[in-house]
Amino acid sequence: MTKPKVLISDKMDANAARIFKERGCDVDVITGKTPEELKEIIGQYDGLAIRSSTKVTAEILEAATNLKVIGRAGIGVDNVDIPSASARGVVVMNTPFGNSITTAEHAIAMIMALARQIPEANARTQAGEWPKSAFMGVEVTGKTLGLIGAGNIGSIVASRALGLKMKVAAYDPFLTPERAVELGVEKVDLGALLERADFISLHTPLTDETRNILSRERMEQCKKGVRIVNCARGGLVDEAALKDLLDSGHVAGAALDVFAKEPPAPDHPLFGTQNFICTPHLGASTTEAQVNVALQVAEQMADYLVNGGVTNALNMPSLSAEEAPKLKPYMALAENLGSLVGQLAHGELPKISIETEGAAAQLNQKPIVGAVLAGLMKRYSSSVNMVNAPYLAKERGMEIREIRNDRGGIYHTLIRVTVETSQGRRSVAGTLFSNGAPRLVEMFGISIEADLAGHMLYIANRDMPGFIGSVGQILGEAGINIGTFHLGRREQGGDAILLLSVDNKVPQELLDKICKVPNVQRVWPLHF
Ligand SMILES: NC(=O)C1=CN([C@@H]2O[C@H](COP(=O)(O)OP(=O)(O)OC[C@H]3O[C@@H](n4cnc5c(N)ncnc54)[C@H](O)[C@@H]3O)[C@@H](O)[C@H]2O)C=CC1
Ligand SMILES: O=C(O)C(=O)COP(=O)(O)O
């Protein structure tokens, strides 16, 4: 058998190459290639090991005709086009914990550097000045640190900040009250965090929801004199607004490890701004973290290439060869149902029950439960997958109930997912057609049949004449094409639901307009 061939295309600790060789792979270390150069050579490799510099675009993947696995020695995978990789059957893995401590420590270092203006004081002192009276710092003791995102890294930052005698307030829709107590932080909403924080540190992935989470408006809502740290992802903070607010003194200091575009242009507006400090995406750059992630990524990738074992994959569950074909369609259904309740619940999810009926109840429940939870949490975490979702859910205090009912009801096979939140109970169910196609069959106890795919709109209304025409007209006038249309109602004149698939994302103004149509109770955009 020919040896699998791996390319390490970003700077990586030498342990990675050593492990690949020891595990029976050939390995090339070629860093600093342009996308065009990478495209030329990628076709010969079975594995690609990267950090954040290599951008694995659809175009690169198209040329990667032999590629089987991409391994990210680190956490964020926003530089990999995962849908394209999945479509080509390429497994994408990361190392979700290997650099978390190191990155949390970098955020703490940034907080301290801002509090005492260490970089500028250092530069001026070494330039021959003795600017003792130019600098007046602030203590962090007793100050409030507002954490946006309290996952792996945010939690570690919280523990270190508490050790520094700071108070920690955290905004994270996935943080349960119990987990907040365990961490010793106060769970708050974003508005309260902005009003109270003396320091803000961001620790979320970059998603549609977190992009620009510190917008101009939100930073203006902050306490005057706030100091902001971003060691997560560029794009979370509006850089132009940050520049203006530092100039006006509303923001007293800002430290960025990451930029919207990396590397930033040499004339980036923030460069040279007073009380602004930055580092070139060094969050994960310690000897310890780099050894951790290099060893882990090489072991995981070699295991997959040589033995077919799957660990920390973001686009594939870990499955045995016999189970895989049977479970595959169920997992697609389960992930869609999880994603649907996650989008509808939009908030804390302390209790979830996953019920299987008929044929579904006879199968290995683990991948089904994993897929529901992965669907539910994927909007909140970049590294969630079917394998680690149950673990993450447990860690975050989610109560998970599994119910099996071997006897089928009206459907020969059914999965029902119910979440209980402070806003109430939300339950959805789906079945599989005989060709394996997944189908939603029930929402909130109301029968409805729909495919869950692409952009959709969920509308809850009173069952009254005329409403469908008005909704269709609003969308039609805005040039939004309706693909499919599904209706369900509890009883004549009672609660009813409408699920539409639409060709484009529906803008907020239109959602507001639909909300005003008589008898409409709730409008919710969905995406699958
Ligand atoms: N600067 C650097 O070198 C490094 C940066 N990172 C980045 O740090 C970030 C966090 O990493 P982890 O803690 O490991 O991820 P994680 O997945 O454990 O935690 C992310 C947290 O953000 C929360 N979240 C998601 N959407 C949110 C929203 N709209 N508002 C508030 N909270 C939200 C999630 O619920 C989750 O608890 C990632 O973007 C990662 O890529 C990670 C390592 C090194
Ligand atoms: O792990 C992450 O998400 C990081 O951002 C670290 O990036 P790097 O591997 O240092 O290029």
Q: What is the pLDDT of residues 150-171, one digit of tens each?
A: 999 999 999 999 999 999 999 9
Single out the catalytic residue among 62, 129, 182, 262: 262
Structure tokens at 450: 């729909």
Q: What is the pLDDT of residue 244?
A: 98
Say how far apart CA 462 and CA 494 lie, in whole Å: 6
Mean pLDDT, to the nearest integer, of 129-156? 98
How many C-beta neighbours within 10 Å does residue 276 have?
A: 23
Q: Which residues contact 398 (CB under 8 A, 6 or more apart)?
A: 176, 349, 350, 351, 352, 373
| Residue pair 43/65 in contact by the 8 Å Cβ criterion | yes
The torsion defined by the Cα of 243, 244, 248 and 251, in degrees rounded to 10, comes to -50
| Residue pair 33/45 in contact by the 8 Å Cβ criterion | no
Residue 308 has pLDDT above 80, yes or no: no
Domains of the chain: 5-97+288-307 (3.40.50.720), 100-278 (3.40.50.720)
Q: What is the pLDDT of residue 20?
A: 98
Tell me how far apart the 2 most distant CA atoms of the chain are, in Å: 83
Mean pLDDT, to the nearest integer, of 108-132? 98
Say how far apart CA 233 and CA 218 lie, in whole Å: 18
Q: Which of helix, strand or coil describes residue 341?
A: helix
How many C-beta neighbours within 10 Å does residue 322 have?
A: 8
Q: Which residues contact 217 (CB under 8 A, 6 or more apart)?
A: none
Ligand lying closest to the C-alpha of residue 262: 2
User: pLDDT-based confidence at 292, cuts 50/70/90?
Assistant: very high
Q: Which residues contact 166 (CB under 8 A, 6 or more apart)?
A: 140, 141, 142, 143, 144, 145, 199
Say how far apart CA 292 and CA 74 lie, in whole Å: 9
Residue 11 has pLDDT above 90, yes or no: yes
Say how far apart CA 71 and CA 7 lie, in whole Å: 10
Q: Which residues line ligand 1 (CB under 6 A)?
A: 74-76, 99-100, 103, 148-154, 171-174, 203-205, 209-210, 231-233, 257-258, 281, 283-284, 380-383
Q: What is the pLDDT of residue 383?
A: 59
Q: Which residues contact 357 (CB under 8 A, 6 or more apart)?
A: 405, 407, 408, 409, 411, 413, 414, 415, 416
Q: Which residues contact 382 (CB under 8 A, 6 or more apart)?
A: 75, 76, 77, 78, 205, 206, 207
Structure tokens at 319: 């499955």
Say how far apart CA 416 and CA 68 lie, in whole Å: 34
Q: How many Å lie between the centroid of ligand 2 and the Cα of residue 230?
A: 13
360 DSSP assignment: G
Q: What is the pLDDT of residue 322?
A: 63
**Where is pLDDT greater, at 354 or 316?**
354
Mean pLDDT of the chain: 93
- The pTM of this model reads 0.77
359 DSSP assignment: G
* Orientation angle between helical segments 152-163 and 100-116, nearest 10 degrees: 50
Task: Calculate what percentage of the chain has a pLDDT beyond 70.
Answer: 96
Q: What is the pLDDT of residue 387?
A: 60
The answer to whether the peptide bond before residue 465 is cis (omega within 30 degrees of 0) is no
**Least confident residue range of 55-69, 174-188, 369-383:** 369-383
Residue 319 has pLDDT above 70, yes or no: no
Q: 486 catalytic, yes or no?
A: no
Residue 394 has pLDDT above 90, yes or no: no
Ligand 2 touching residue 99 (CB < 6 A) = yes
Q: How many Å lie between the centroid of ligand 2 and the Cα of residue 351?
A: 33
Q: Hey, what amino acid is at 268?
A: H
Q: What is the pLDDT of residue 344?
A: 86
Q: What is the pLDDT of residue 212?
A: 98
Dihedral of alpha carbons 128, 131, 132, 137, sign: negative
**Least confident residue range of 34-38, 123-127, 276-280, 347-351:** 347-351
pLDDT digits (tens, 9 = 90+) for 450-469: 999 999 999 999 988 888 88
Residue 321 has pLDDT above 60, yes or no: no
Q: 18 catalytic, yes or no?
A: no
Q: What is the pLDDT of residue 480?
A: 94
Ligand 2 touching residue 281 (CB < 6 A) = yes
Say how far apart CA 356 and CA 302 lie, in whole Å: 36
Q: Which of helix, strand or coil describes residue 285?
A: coil
Q: How many Å lie between the centroid of ligand 1 and the Cα of residue 204?
A: 3
pLDDT digits (tens, 9 = 90+) for 218-272: 999 999 999 999 999 999 999 999 999 999 999 999 999 999 999 999 999 999 9
Q: What is the CA radius of gyration of the chain?
A: 25
pLDDT digits (tens, 9 = 90+) for 46-94: 999 999 999 999 999 999 999 999 999 999 999 999 888 877 778 899 9
**Where is pLDDT greater, at 84 or 106?**
106
Ligand lying closest to the C-alpha of residue 74: 2
Q: What is the pLDDT of residue 166?
A: 98
Say how far apart CA 146 and CA 158 lie, in whole Å: 9
Say how far apart CA 282 and CA 385 lie, in whole Å: 26
Listed residue (346, 267, 279, 282) closest to 523, CA to CA: 346
| Residue pair 504/455 in contact by the 8 Å Cβ criterion | yes
Say how far apart CA 400 and CA 161 lie, in whole Å: 31
**Where is pLDDT greater, at 381 or 393?**
393
Place of tokens 């939690």: 155
